[in-house]
Every structure is written in C-alpha cells, then in structure tokens.
Amino acid sequence: MADLTHLAIPGTRIALRVTPRASRARLVIEGEDLRAYVTVAPEGGKANAAVQVLLAKALGVAKSRVVLVRGQTSRDKLFEIS
C-alpha cells in the first residue's frame, strides 16, 4: 500500500480515482495520480467508506479525519484531512 503519511496535514485535499469490485483493496500511485481499488460494490456508500478506511490507514490518521468533499457518486473523488 502507498505510504501517504507526508500528506496527513489538516486541510490537505487528496484527489483519487476509485475502482470498485477489485480483487483486493489497495492504494496505488500511478505517475502523479492516486488510485484506490476496493473490493465492495458502489452501493449505499459502501465503496466510499472502504476508500475512507484505506486512506486513513495510509495516512496514519483516524478515519473520522478523512472527509469526502466531492464525488459521492463519481469514480473521481476528493477527500480532505480535517
């Protein structure tokens, strides 16, 4: 999993693209883009919650500090560290 602890500063915004129904959950840095792969389906916010947990783990912060700002129903999401 990608180490993003250097981004764990309040106010930091993290843009990423999500791929649901992946074979395993992981965060990947591809060039300058961040991609999140989650195993759950995008139903009822389950994929968003899974991405929130992945990001929190990679950042080394509590999941309550990782807030979805934009992209609730899109594959492209923007999270902010509170």
| Distance separating alpha carbons of residues 41 and 53, to the nearest angstrom | 15
- pLDDT value of position 20: 96
**Continuous H helices in 1-82:** 46-59
Q: How confident is the model at residue 2 (pLDDT cuts 50, 70, 90)?
A: confident
Q: What is the pLDDT of residues 4-54, one digit of tens each?
A: 888 999 999 999 999 999 999 999 998 889 999 999 999 999 999 999 999
- Judge whether 2 and 31 are in contact, CB under 8 Å: no
| Partner residues linked to 33 by β-bridges | 30
- Judge whether 29 and 16 are in contact, CB under 8 Å: no
Q: Which domains does the chain have, with CATH numbers?
A: 5-81 (3.30.1200.10)
**Residue 19: HSE in the Cβ half-sphere, 13 Å Cα cutoff:** 11
